[in-house]
């Protein structure tokens, strides 16, 4: 493939990230490679490595789009604090996992090399997601408890969604993820005290 210069660096970066995100959404993380992205955008693999230090960074940028879409879904669903608000966020999360199964799965399948830190923009996106859950919890809880509870709620909901996505809910004697999530929320939130 000949050398191209149809796009500036920012445009090329956006093209590469979009192509990677599209491949992941369509076929899953395993199908996304530097060669596939380069073919899709019509540039060489070498061009990608001039834009990104390594392929992990391109994958993180593509996954950042998924996190941003998830944040938008949560923002739309979020209401005032209380059990109804937490349920609305959980339901929005479950709907997102069904609507974007491969992109959502890629968030958890991708592993950075040992000792590699998440880029700050990615870590901040994750914190914003937790912030929606923390804001839905009662203000009467201290900040440490809200922070910890948001992560416990996410972990429980994530586990149920992962079992549902893998078709393994039946192995734990359940079929409906929404019912399990609501039962988990009711019991956990009751333990926090009055909402």
CATH of the domain at 22: 1.10.10.60
* Residue 57 belongs to some domain of the structure: no
Do both 9 and 67 map to the same domain? no
CATH of the domain at 165: 1.10.357.10
Do both 34 and 77 map to the same domain? no
* Tens-place pLDDT, residues 65-124: 999 999 999 999 877 778 899 999 999 999 999 999 999 999 999 988 888 888 899 999
* Residue 20 belongs to some domain of the structure: yes
* Residue 66 belongs to some domain of the structure: yes
Domain that holds residue 35: 1-52
pLDDT of 60 reads 94
Per-residue pLDDT band for 2 (boundaries 50, 70, 90) equals very low
Torsion sign over Cα 130, 131, 137, 138: positive
CA-wise closest residue to 69 among 119, 43, 106: 106
| Geometric angle at alpha carbon 88, from 131 and 185, rounded to 5° | 85
* Residue 112 belongs to some domain of the structure: yes
CA-wise closest residue to 157 among 179, 175, 126: 179
């Amino acid at each position: 493939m000949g050398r191209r210069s149809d796009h500036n660096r920012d445009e090329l970066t956006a093209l590469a990230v979009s192509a990677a995100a599209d491949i992941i959404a369509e076929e899953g993380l395993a199908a996304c490679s530097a060669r596939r992205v380069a073919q899709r955008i019509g540039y060489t693999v070498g061009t990608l490595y001039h834009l990104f230090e390594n392929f992990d960074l391109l994958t993180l940028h593509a996954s950042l789009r998924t996190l941003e879409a998830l944040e938008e879904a949560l923002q739309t669903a979020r209401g005032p604090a209380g059990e109804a608000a937490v349920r609305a966020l959980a339901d929005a999360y479950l709907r997102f996992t069904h609507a974007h199964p491969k992109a959502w799965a890629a968030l958890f399948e991708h592993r950075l090399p040992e000792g590699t830190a998440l880029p700050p923009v990615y870590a901040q996106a994750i914190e914003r997601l937790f912030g929606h859950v923390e804001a839905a919890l009662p203000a009467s809880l201290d900040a440490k408890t809200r922070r910890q509870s948001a992560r416990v709620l996410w972990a429980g909901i994530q586990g149920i969604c992962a079992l549902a996505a893998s078709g393994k809910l039946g192995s734990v004697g359940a079929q409906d993820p929404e019912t399990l999530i609501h039962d988990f929320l009711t019991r956990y939130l009751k333990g926090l005290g009055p909402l």
